């Protein structure tokens, strides 16, 4: 079963790369219009040091922003989940904030915190990724059966005990489902800041450099590198889900 879980995604990726190569070949596109997978190894070989350095810069900022989003999202979700009044008050604000295109927020953040490149990037990664976590935790807690709460309260359990023993385990499947979405959103936030407000750091800056120099193989190599980092972080979340919420699988 483990071998199958590894082989199937790898096979899907290989098929994708083959179809991409065939599409470029069939249309006769040169690499200054559309790069093909066969153009990418040369780009990685030429700029491998930049990929390592800037890939790490993008990864750690994304992870820090995601961790802050988890802490904030869980806290807000708990407030909304345990209080209908707070849910009615906060939900429209969260939806309205999430509806604002983050590309329009990036220049504002960059102007507010001029020169704080790491802080700006982490902030955007956080802002774009906390919403699914907050909503999932809120829904999980608000749908907790009231009879469970009543029984535990009658036995003298505190609100904290109810949360740790009943509410938290019930919410974990929804939480990890939202976390899988937030992982990709955090990478989007990081690269928005790196591209829209370039400061020479991260894969977004490397992509922008490729765009400036019309180096399409480099640009597509950056996109594949970002996809790879996203997949790695996604499977880290999957592994954590199996450890803490494996019981929810059917």
The residues spanned by each domain of the chain are 50-248
User: Which of the residue ranges 43-52, 76-85, 146-155, 171-180 would you say has the lowest mean pLDDT?
Assistant: 146-155
State the Cα–Cα distance between residues 159 and 182, nearest whole angstrom. Answer: 28
Averaged pLDDT score across all residues of the chain: 85
Q: Is the pLDDT of residue 198 over 70?
A: no
Mean pLDDT is lowest, of 79-88, 178-187, 239-248, for 239-248
* Model confidence at 238: pLDDT above 70: yes
> Which residue in 42, 7, 36 sits closest to 21, CA to CA?
36
Nearest 5°: the CA angle 220, 224, 225 is 115
Q: What is the pTM of this model?
A: 0.86
In angstroms, rounded to a whole number, what is the distance separating the alpha carbons of residues 176 and 32?
41
Domain made up of 50-248: CATH architecture: Orthogonal Bundle (1.10)
* CA dist 154 → 149, 162, 168, 197, 247 (Å): 8, 12, 20, 56, 28
CA distances from 25 to 8, 82, 224 (A): 26, 57, 19
Per-residue pLDDT tens digits for 98-156: 888 888 888 888 888 877 888 999 999 999 999 999 988 888 777 777 776 677 677 77
pLDDT value of position 248? 61
The rounded distance, in Å, linking the Cα atoms of 194 and 197 is: 6
Supply the pLDDT for residue 64. Answer: 95
Q: Give the pLDDT confidence score for residue 65 in this predicted structure.
A: 94
Evaluate if residue 213 carries a pLDDT over 70: yes
Query: pLDDT exceeding 70 applies to what percent of the chain?
Result: 92
Long-range contacts of 23-26 (CB under 8 A, 24+ apart): none
């Amino acid at each position: 079963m483990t071998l199958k879980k590894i082989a199937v995604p790898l096979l899907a990726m290989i098929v994708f790369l083959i179809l991409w190569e065939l599409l470029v070949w069939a249309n006769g596109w040169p690499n200054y219009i559309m790069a093909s997978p066969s153009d990418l190894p040369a780009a990685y070989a030429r700029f491998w040091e930049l990929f390592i350095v800037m890939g790490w810069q993008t990864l750690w900022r994304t992870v820090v922003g995601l961790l802050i989003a988890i802490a904030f999202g869980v806290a807000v979700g708990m407030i909304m989940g345990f209080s209908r009044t707070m849910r009615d008050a906060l939900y429209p604000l969260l939806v309205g904030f999430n509806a604002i295109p983050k590309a329009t927020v990036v220049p504002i953040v960059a102007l507010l915190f001029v020169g704080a490149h790491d802080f700006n990037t982490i902030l955007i990664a956080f802002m774009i990724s906390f919403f699914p976590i907050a909503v999932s935790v809120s829904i999980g807690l608000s749908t907790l059966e009231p009879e469970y709460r009543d029984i535990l309260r009658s036995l003298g359990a505190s609100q904290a005990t109810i949360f740790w023993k009943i509410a938290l385990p019930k919410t974990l499947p929804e939480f990890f489902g939202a976390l899988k979405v937030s992982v990709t959103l955090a990478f989007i936030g990081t690269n928005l800041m790196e591209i829209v407000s370039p400061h020479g750091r991260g894969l977004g800056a490397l992509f922008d450099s490729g765009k400036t120099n019309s180096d399409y193989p480099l640009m597509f190599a950056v996109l594949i590198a970002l996809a790879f980092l996203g997949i790695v972080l996604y499977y880290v979340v999957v592994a954590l889900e199996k450890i803490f919420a494996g019981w929810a699988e059917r």
